[in-house]
Chains A and B, each alone.
Chain A
Amino acid sequence: MELPVQTFRVTRADLVRYAGASGDFNPIHWSERFATKVGLPGVIAHGMYTMALVGRAVTAWAGSADAVVDFSVRFSRPVPVPDDDEGTELEVRGVAKGETEAGLMQIDITATCRGEKVLSQARALVRRPA
């Protein structure tokens, strides 16, 4: 079953806030100078910030903030975040694949940015609403 598409806007300010909250101060997530020096197209989002937004999508689909039992992703492509007010947009799609033997719902996830997949093998197992 296809779940409702969810979109998340990502700006530089979001990355700065996430850096502070998570303790991940890698300069590729805030310094254009550093990011281009190490061969990136520019400042990119923390992979774990992308995963956190996908986590919001998953908990919204599951219907409760504490439903996630297992959550895994592969970061297949960076998410560049331009230094402007619009930033970029992450689009998250999910397909409910039915129940596991343990009674959990499996959700297969696709996340795209500018039409390109940024995660692969993304999957969550969630508790069903009581």
Chain B
Amino acid sequence: MPLDPSFAGRSYPPTASYQVGREKIREFATAIGAADELHHDPEAARAAGYPDVVAPPTFAVVITMAANRQIVEDPDLGVDYSRVVHGDQRFAYTRPIVAGDELVSTNTIEEIRSRGGHDFLTMRTDVASAAGEPVVTAWSKIVVRGEG
């Protein structure tokens, strides 16, 4: 069953806030081998003008991938996640994510297309501070592979 293209343009209610932890940033940076002191040392981050350690550029996916479950687990849309592969990813930053941020994500389905038996779903996630200031927007295009 192809995905219903009329879901394009649909927005979901904002998620509960995600609290960005200093140790989570360090853990993520260590996992990708990012040794820069901005990711690990709060004093170095403060010297660079940040309140606490700074997340690497793709850290936002920790937040947005969890937020996107609102869409991929929407029973009315009916994505078969066992057939999903990641197609495209983009991040557009207003500012880096830093430890101590309380971030709220708002998901929108930007596009649904079907081609060659596969479905292509583009999700936009606008991530903002609790005060509503934009931090980063992520676009994830996933491919739901057709059967056979």
- Measured CB to CB, the residues of A under 8 A from B are 8, 14, 17-18, 20-24, 38, 47-49, 51-53, 55-56, 58-59, 64-66, 68-75, 121
| B98-126 interface code vs A (CB 8 A; 1 in, 0 out) | 00000000000000000000000000000
- Report yes or no: B36 in contact with A59, Cβ–Cβ below 8 A: yes
Considering only CB atoms, which chain A residue lies closest to B58 in the complex?
Answer: A52
Chain B residues within an 8 Å CB radius of A71:
57-58, 90-91
- Report yes or no: A21 in contact with B27, Cβ–Cβ below 8 A: yes
Which residues of chain B from 71 to 100 have a CB within 8 Å of any chain A CB?
Answer: 82, 85-93, 96
- Report yes or no: A56 in contact with B32, Cβ–Cβ below 8 A: yes
Contact count A vs B, C-beta below 8 Å: 96
Chain A residues within an 8 Å CB radius of B36:
59, 65
Bound-state Cα–Cα, A22 to B65, Å? 9
Chain A residues within an 8 Å CB radius of B65:
22-24, 48
Chain A residues within an 8 Å CB radius of B132:
none
Quote the shortest CB–CB distance from B24 to chain A (angstroms).
8
Chain A residues within an 8 Å CB radius of B48:
66
Of B58, B61, B66, B90, most buried by chain A (CB within 10 Å of CB) is B58
B144 at interface (Cβ–Cβ under 8 A)? no
Main secondary structure of the interface of B (DSSP, over half): mixed
Chain A residues within an 8 Å CB radius of B139:
72
Bound-state Cα–Cα, A20 to B57, Å? 18
- Report yes or no: A66 in contact with B33, Cβ–Cβ below 8 A: no
Bound-state Cα–Cα, A70 to B57, Å? 9
Considering only CB atoms, which chain B residue lies closest to A34 in the complex?
Answer: B82
- Report yes or no: B28 in contact with A55, Cβ–Cβ below 8 A: no
B31 at interface (Cβ–Cβ under 8 A)? yes
- Report yes or no: A22 in contact with B61, Cβ–Cβ below 8 A: yes
- Report yes or no: B93 in contact with A70, Cβ–Cβ below 8 A: yes
- Report yes or no: A20 in contact with B31, Cβ–Cβ below 8 A: yes
Given known pairs A23-B66, A65-B54, A65-B56, the reply for A48 and B33 (CB within 8 Å) is no
